[in-house]
Amino acid sequence: MRNSRIIGAGMFVPPKVVTNDDLSKLMDTSDEWIVERSGIKERRYAEDGVGVSDLAVEASKKALAQAGLEPKDIDLIIFATLSPDYYFPGSGVLLQHKLGCRDIAAIDIRQQCSGFIYGLSIADQYIKTGQSERVLVVGAEIHSCGLDFSTRGRDVTVLFGDGAGVVILAPGEAGKGILSTHLHSDGGHFDKLWTPAPMACRHPRLSHEILDQGLHYPIMDGKFIFKMAIGKFAEIVEDALRANGYTLEDLDLFIPHQANLRISNMVGKKLGLPDEKVFNNIQKYGNTTAGSIPIAISEALEQGKIKEGSLVCLASFGSGLTWASALIRW
C-alpha cells in the first residue's frame, strides 16, 4: 500500500496583534499572570466579518505555492475547525468555492485541538487506498469573536487566538511520509472544556437567558485539562514511536499542539527531550486549536527545524476529550 507525504505547508494569521496588556484593559488580568501560567505574550485577532474560510484561503495559497500546485489539482478538502464561519454549512465548502477548486469533496471535522491530526489521518487513508491524489488538510480557528472579554471569562479568553495552517498530502515513497497516526477520544469528560450554547437539543437554541448566563462562551476546568494533557501527550508520543520501532532518541522534532507553554515544557521533561527538540510558538499566537499544529509545521519548515529525513512527532490533546499523534519521516 502506498504512503502519503506532506508536499506543501502554509500558514496565515490575521495582522492584528493583541498583547496581554491590551487584554488587561478589558478584564482583570495582567501580562505577568498570563506569561507565567501559559507563556503567551500576544495573539492575533481577525477583523469583524472575516471567517475561518478566509484565513484558510490565504494559508492554502501558500501551501499550494510550496507544492507547486494549483487549486484545480486538489481532489479532497478536509477542514478541521471548532469555529466554522456558519452554524451550517461547514467551512470546507466555502474554502472549495473561495479557493476556486473543482467540485471536489469537502469534509468538515469537529475534533477541536486534535482536529488537525484527525484530518491528517483521514487524508492519509484516502491516499493509501488510492481514492485521492492531492488532499488539502486545513486546521483553522477564529476564537476572538466567541470569547468572554469580561473578567468572568479571563481564564479561557487569555489563552486563545486566531489563525490557520494548511498542508497538502500526496502519495509518497515507502518508509517516508506519514508512518502512522493514533487517534483517541473519551466523551465522558466532554464538559471539562466546551461551549454549551447554541444547543441543538433545546428549543430555542439560543435565547436572551442563555446569552445573559454566558453559556455561548467556552467553559474550561483548567486544572483537570492541564493534568490530563500532560499524561496523554506523553502516552501518545511513546505509542507513535513504539508502533514504528523507534525510541525517543530517534526523534528529531516534537510538535505538540500549542495549548500552553507550561504543558509543552512539562511533557518535554517527562519524555526526557532536550528543549531544542520541542517546538513552541504559542508565545506569538496563543492557542489556535486546530490551527496550531499546521501553523507550527509551516514555521518549523521555514526555520529549518524540519529537514529532508527528519523524524517528527505531532501530538495533540483537547476538548472532546480527544487526543492524537502522528509520526512522520520527512
Active site residue ranges:
113, 257, 287
Candidate residues 259, 267, 311, 313; the one interacting with ligand ACO per rule CB under 6 A = 259
Site for ligand ACO in 53-112 (CB under 6 A): none
Give the three-state DSSP class for 25.
coil
**Which residue in 307, 119, 317 sits closest to 220, CA to CA?**
317
Stretch that binds ligand ACO, among 42-50, 194-202, 259-267, 268-276 (CB under 6 A): 259-267
Cα 93 to the chain's mean position, in Å?
19
Interface pick for ligand ACO out of 122, 135, 193, 328 (rule CB under 6 A): 193
Minimum CB distance to ligand ACO smaller for 118 or for 317? 317
Size of the site for ligand ACO (CB under 6 A): 24
Closest distance of CB 261 from ligand ACO, Å: 9
Rank residues 80 and 113 by Cβ distance to ligand ACO and give the closer one: 113
Beta strands in the chain (DSSP E): 3-12, 16-19, 42-45, 76-80, 105-109, 135-141, 163-172, 177-185, 193-194, 219-220, 253-256, 311-318, 322-329
Which residues from 197-236 bind ligand ACO, rule CB under 6 A?
220, 222-223, 225-226, 229
Supply the angle between the helices 292-302 and 115-128 in degrees, to the nearest 10: 80
Percentages of the chain per state (helix, strand, coil), in multiples of 5: 40, 25, 35
Min dist CB 36 to ligand ACO, Å, is 9
C-beta separation of 18 from 43 below 8 A? yes
Stretch that binds ligand ACO, among 91-99, 137-145, 151-159, 267-275 (CB under 6 A): 151-159
Cα-trace Rg, the chain: 19
CB 67 within 8 A of CB 7: yes
Tell me how far apart the alpha carbons of residues 84 and 74 are, in angstroms, rounded to a whole number: 21
Is 95 or 259 the residue whose CB approaches ligand ACO more closely? 259
Strands (DSSP E) found in 46-104? 76-80
Near ligand ACO in 152-181, by CB under 6 A: 154-155, 158-159
- Of residues 30 and 129, the one with the C-beta less far from ligand ACO: 30
DSSP 198: S
Output the smallest distance, CB 82 to ligand ACO, in A. Answer: 11
196/222 with CB nearer ligand ACO: 222
Asked if 218 and 294 count as a contact pair (C-beta separation under 8 A), the reply is: no
Q: How far is the C-alpha of 307 from the C-alpha of 246, rounded, in Å?
A: 18
What minimum distance in Å lies between the beta carbon of 70 and ligand ACO? 34
Closest separation between CB of residue 330 and ligand ACO, Å? 25
Q: Reduced to 3 states, what is the DSSP secondary structure of residue 303?
A: coil
Q: Does residue 135 contact residue 75 with C-beta atoms inside 8 Å?
A: yes
Identify the CA nearest to 41 among candidates 293, 285, 311, 250: 285
Residue pair 168/301 in contact by the 8 Å Cβ criterion: no
Binding mask 24-63 for ligand ACO (x = CB under 6 A): -----x---xx--xx-------------------------
Residue (12 or 323) nearer to ligand ACO, CB: 323
Q: Which of 4, 144, 287, 325 binds ligand ACO (CB under 6 A)?
A: 287
Q: How far is the CB of 158 from ligand ACO (least distance, A)?
A: 4
- Choose among 222, 224, 248: nearest CA to 327: 248
Judged by CB, which is closer to ligand ACO: 317, or 330? 317
CB of 20 vs ligand ACO, minimal distance in Å: 9
DSSP classification of residue 99: H
Which positions lie near ligand ACO, rule CB under 6 A? 29, 33-34, 37-38, 113, 154-155, 158-159, 193, 220, 222-223, 225-226, 229, 257, 259-260, 263, 287, 317-318
